[in-house]
Amino acid sequence: MKYSKPLFPFLLGCALILSTATLSEIGWISGGIQLLLFGSVVLYPIWKTEKLSYVDIGWPWGLVCIGIVTIIMSDGYVWRVWGVGLLYIFMGARMGLGAIILWRKGYIQQELPRYRYQRLRWEGSGKANTQLAMQIDALVQGLANATYLAFPAFIMGTNQNSSISMIELVGLGLWIASFVMESIADQQKLSFLRKMKKEQQRNKVCTIGLWKYTRHPNYFAEWMVWNALIILAIPSWIALESNESTVLWVLLGLGLLFVSLVMYTSLVHLTGAKPAEYYSLQKRPDYKAYTENVNMFFPGTSKIK
């Protein structure tokens, strides 16, 4: 039970999407594609190498698949369908190409620090069968793609209304602003690392730009990208009320909100902020002071001068 427990929310998500009148067909096809993708490029390599980092290849390319399936199968307003489909393709391909570069350089084969941290969590919870724990963890990622993370795209794909609402414009604006923030944070960190390498300084803490106001501006911005997708999907979810039973319609709405919780949990507790900080506190002498002066996730005032 302790191994399979993380699967339950996502199995419920599978049951939900397959029970609906409007999303069951796309749910079956998308789920099959995700299973094939994760089975071949994640689950099998993990079994052979005992390295969980292969999730970093499967997860973003799974987003690309969601985008493609949305464009091909959805019968909603064409500009809305193509818009959200291309957003997913762009998000996934951007991260997926980065993962392939890491794989080619051998980093994924060596296990990334955030996945080494997972082993510590399993040890603390009494999970001695590491191979099973890795397979379950990877399967959760695949089921997340097949269910909740696909909800915004699939729900928007059902909306045949040709007018774009103010809520959708707000959501799109937030998506753009969040993506720009994430890109700026990544560039600032890269510039800082290049400067430190040029000056031959090691294990220094990046406190410039956005990193002065949150210790993980890139993770916060990624979370906001998904919140923006939820906002974008709200008018389409409202329009679904007449096509679904009240119970399923309400559950789909709750599923949309659950996307935010899923991404927050992952970006803060599982593969994001906390794993990164666990190793930074060991590696960087100034990092403890950094944690005392700057918020971990949500941007706020900084005590750094």
Where does residue 254 rank: exposed (0-12), middle (13-18), buried (19+ CB within 10 A)?
exposed
**In the prediction, which pLDDT does 290 show?**
95
Task: State residue 190's pLDDT score.
Answer: 95
Q: Which of 297, 122, 284 is nearest to 219 (CA)?
A: 297
Q: What pLDDT is recorded for position 40?
A: 97
How far is residue 274 from each of residues 41, 114, 221, measured CA to CA in Å?
26, 9, 16
Q: Which among 221, 89, 226 is positioned nearest to 171, based on CA atoms? A: 226
Closest CA to 7 of 150, 147, 127, 154: 147
DSSP class per residue in 167-224: HHHHHHHHHHHHHHHHHHHHHHHHHHHHHHHHTT--SPPP-SGGGGT-S-HHHHHHHH
Phi and psi, residue 285, nearest 5°: -60, -30
In the prediction, which pLDDT does 221 show? 98
Does the global pTM surpass 0.75? yes
| pLDDT, averaged in runs of 10, over the chain (305 residues) | 88 97 97 97 96 96 98 97 98 96 90 91 90 95 97 98 97 98 96 94 93 97 98 98 96 98 96 94 94 95 72
* Rg of the chain, C-alpha, whole Å: 20
Question: In the chain, what are the domain boundaries?
Answer: 5-293
pLDDT score, position 125: 87
What does the pLDDT read at residue 261? 97
| 226 and 263 Cβ atoms separated by less than 8 Å | yes
